Amino acid sequence: MESKFDLYQWRSIRDNLQNKYPELTNADLVWGRTTRDDMLQMISAKLGKTKRDLLDVIDSFEFSA
């Protein structure tokens, strides 16, 4: 099952991703004028991971669903 999160939860996830992957910039993690899937695809490409791998990392973070 694919991870589900909203914009409010994304703030916490974004902070965790930046702590884990310092190469990610604030610009990389903006969820603005793009879809959630497109944003995740761009982040996973920058990290050299599959989207599924990125979602597994996100799922490892504790956030309120």
List Cα–Cα distances, 28 to 3, 14, 21, 22, 65, in angstroms: 19, 10, 11, 11, 23
| Digitized pLDDT (tens) for each residue of the chain, 65 residues in all | 467 788 888 999 999 999 999 999 999 999 888 888 999 999 999 999 999 999 999 999 875 44
Q: Where are the domains of the chain?
A: 1-24+34-65
Q: What is the pTM of this model?
A: 0.84
- The amino acid present at 42, given as its one-letter code, is M
